[in-house]
Amino acid sequence: MPSNIVLVTGVGGELGGRLLARLGTNPEFERVLGVDTVPPAKQVLRRLGRAEFVRADIRNPLIAKVLADAQVDTVVHAATTCHPAAPARRGALKEVNVIGTMRLLAACQRSASVRKLVVKSTAAVYGASPRSPAVFTEDSELIPGSWTGYAKDAVEMESYVRGLARRRPDLTVTMARFTNVIGPDVDTVLARYFALPVVPTVLGYDARLQVLHSSDALAVLELATLYDRPGVFNVGSDGVLTLSQAVRRAGRVELPVPRAMIPSVGKMLRGARVVDFSQDQVRLLNHGRVVDTKRLKEVFGYRPRWTTAAAFDDYVRGRGLRPIVDGERLAAVMGDVMAAATTGQSR
């Protein structure tokens, strides 16, 4: 049965906002609602078409009233955050990721009109460690890199979604586990990391990275909204880049740092509000993560347009990154990083 009235959460974010605008210009839908505590970006608001923005908090039980009043039949949960680009309050994000998801799913369970749920999840649920398989499938065990971080929230959120599917077997549930999203117009933790003039890496490690272009992420969510595609799907581009290859393609300079000093470097970057160098992210940059996308292509019916290398290069072009050539500036930055890390480690 085609979707008719759609509600999208997290439209204040880049991906959720773009999805709202895309669906709002699609004549297939009778009505499209976007909810968040903050409005979409100005460029999104100018392209909403027939879509409507409703200021609402999914952590509030009143979200059930929004679903009931609009007779929503399809919910796209795009509000979850796995790796915030910049340092953020952990408690607030956990409330949205966990409490917000619980409230939203409870509202879906009680709703007589909701028949389909699309959830944006993350491949970070698989974790990253020396014991990880070379390639993760959808049946791989979920072991986040940290039991206190954002990836752990995603594992918890997915358990709530599975519980809802058991209680409401009539629902069509699609779970999309995205690899790290990158592109010229998205602000993500990797986008900030590779924009650093000197990129700290872990000495002795050269992780394999698999990314996803933001346009492919948007296309998957749109297709899952338009058509019934039940199941769990890994969503990532074909091919991989090693960390050192990505640093060179971005024109940055790699700074291998002893593993024991990484927490101090991460603390310094968070303190400067540059990038959220979390424990989950450090483990990814140590060990890498690659997912199998066979089910995405053969069952879901989508083949990403961008390879990992092409998506990364488009990010570099779109951000206008230029190779670092100023030797004096480079030496000064490297000295500051090493000095700050050494000082932090000695405390």
Instruction: Output the tens digit of pLDDT for each of the chain's 347 residues.
Output: 678 999 999 999 999 999 999 999 999 999 999 999 999 999 999 999 999 999 999 999 999 999 999 999 999 999 887 655 545 555 567 777 889 999 999 999 999 999 999 999 999 999 998 899 999 999 999 987 566 677 888 999 999 999 999 999 999 999 999 999 999 988 888 888 999 888 988 888 999 999 999 999 999 999 999 999 999 999 999 999 999 999 999 999 898 988 888 777 777 776 656 676 777 788 888 899 999 999 999 999 999 999 999 999 999 999 888 887 554 555 565 566 566 656 655 55
Q: Where are the alpha helices (DSSP H) in 78-149?
A: 90-94, 101-110
Q: Which residues contact 105 (CB under 8 A, 6 or more apart)?
A: 117, 160, 161, 163, 164
pLDDT at 166: 97
Quickly list DSSP for 308-322: HHHHHHHHHHHHT--
Q: Which residues contact 30 (CB under 8 A, 6 or more apart)?
A: 4, 5
The structural domains of the chain, ordered by start, are: 5-183+212-237+291-300 (3.40.50.720), 242-289+307-346 (no CATH)
What single-letter amino acid sits at 184? P
Could you tell me the pTM of the whole model?
0.89
Contact between 185 and 129 (Cβ < 8 Å): no
Nearest to 36 by CA among 11, 17, 60: 11
Q: Which residues of 169-186 are buried (b: 16+ CB within 10 A; e: fewer)?
A: eebbbbbbbbbbbbbbeb
pLDDT at 92: 65
For residue 18 the two structure tokens come to 């773009």
CA–CA distance from 186 to each of 18, 121, 214, 280 (Å)? 11, 17, 7, 20
CA–CA distance from 304 to each of 123, 218, 284, 326 (Å)? 16, 11, 22, 37
CB atoms within 10 A of CB 133: 12
| CA pseudo-torsion sign 182, 188, 191, 193 | negative
Inter-helix orientation angle 262-271/279-287, to 10°: 130
Please give the Cα distance from 112 to 114 (Å, whole number): 6
Nearest to 14 by CA among 280, 278, 218: 218
